[in-house]
Amino acid sequence: MSLNIVSEIDNRIKIKNVLMSVSDKTGLETFVPALVKACPGVKIYSTGGTYTKVKEILGADADKTLVAVSDYTGQPEMQGGLVKTLDFKIYLGLLSETYNPAHQADHARLNALPIDMVVVNLYPFKETVAKEGVTPEMARTNIDIGGPCMVRASAKNYLRVCSVTDPLDYANLANELADHDGTIGLDTRFKLMKKAFTHTAEYDTAISKFFTTRTWEEVNATYRQH
C-alpha cells in the first residue's frame, strides 16, 4: 500500500467551509455569530437538529450561510437520521491535501469543496447509560457512527483541518479567528487533534465497558424475536 506522506502545508488556514453536527449545542449561540463575523462568506454545512439550531441563530442570514449536508452531497438522510454524513464528497473534503494535485483534481471532478473546520460532538452515550434502568437497546441506539468518523478524519488531517469537539474551546477559537483574519494556526489544530482523539477513545471505551458488563440474558430479553 502506498501511503500519502505530506511535506508541504500551510501554517495558517482560512476557514471557508465548516461541517457542524453536535449533540451538545451549548455555546453555539455565541460561537456561530462569531464565526460568521470573523470569516466573511463562510459556509456552514449541517444536519438534523444542529441545522435547525444554526438556522434559528442566523435568522435572516441563514439562507446565505447555512447549507444542508443532503443538499451538498445529493444524498438524502436515512430514516431516523442513521446516515447523514457518510458520503465520499464529505470525506474528500476532510482528507484532501492542499498541495496534492490528484486530490485537487478529485475536487474539480466532483464539484466538491475542502472542509476547513469540523465542529462535532457525539451522541450522549455515557449520559444515557448512567441512567437507572437503561436497556441494551437504549444504549445501542446512542452509539454514534458518523460523528466519530468525522472527528477521526478531521483530526487525522490536522495539517489542513481544525477538529473541534469541545464547546469549551469555542471562545478561544473565536478570538483566534477574529485576531488573525479568519484563520487558524497549525499549533491550535495540533492541540485540538490530540483532544479529538481522546474524545473518540473515551467514547469507544464507554461503549465497550457497557456491553462487556451486560449478560446475554439481558440483551435477549430486550426484543420480541421472530
Is there a domain that residue 166 lies in? Answer: yes
Q: What pLDDT score does 1 carry?
A: 64
Is there a domain that residue 153 lies in? Answer: yes
The span from the CA of 161 to the CA of 150, in Å, is: 11
Is there a domain that residue 6 lies in? Answer: no
Task: Reply yes or no on whether the pLDDT at 81 is more than 70.
Answer: no
Rounded to a whole number of angstroms, the distance between the first and last alpha carbons of the chain is: 45
Give the residue carrying C-alpha cell 469541545. 166
Is there a domain that residue 121 lies in? Answer: yes
Give Dmax (Cα) for the chain.
Answer: 61
Is there a domain that residue 183 lies in? Answer: yes
**Chain segment 61-73, per-residue pLDDT in tens:** 999 999 999 999 9
Task: Reply yes or no on whether the pLDDT at 174 is more than 90.
Answer: yes
Instruction: Look at 24-28, 34-38, 144-148 and tell me which has the smallest mean pLDDT.
Output: 144-148
Total number of domains in the chain: 1
The span from the CA of 149 to the CA of 198, in Å, is: 14
Is there a domain that residue 226 lies in? Answer: no
> The domain that contains 95 carries what CATH number?
3.40.50.1380
Specify whether the CB–CB gap between 174 and 34 falls below 8 A.
yes
Task: Reply yes or no on whether the pLDDT at 79 is more than 80.
Answer: no
The pTM (predicted TM-score) of the whole model is 0.93
Say if strands 12-14 and 183-185 run parallel, antiparallel, or are unpaired: antiparallel
**Chain segment 124-171, per-residue pLDDT in tens:** 888 888 898 889 998 998 898 999 999 999 999 999 999 999 999 999
**Angle in degrees, 0-180, between the axes of helices 101-110 and 88-95, rounded to the nearest 10:** 150
How much is the mean pLDDT over the chain? 93
Better pLDDT: 133 or 20:
20
| φ and ψ of 140, to 5 deg | -55, -40
Cα dihedral: 16, 120, 161, 198 (round 10): 160
The distance of Cα 5 from the centroid of its chain, to the nearest Å, equals: 24
Range of the domain at 142: 13-220
Is there a domain that residue 144 lies in? Answer: yes
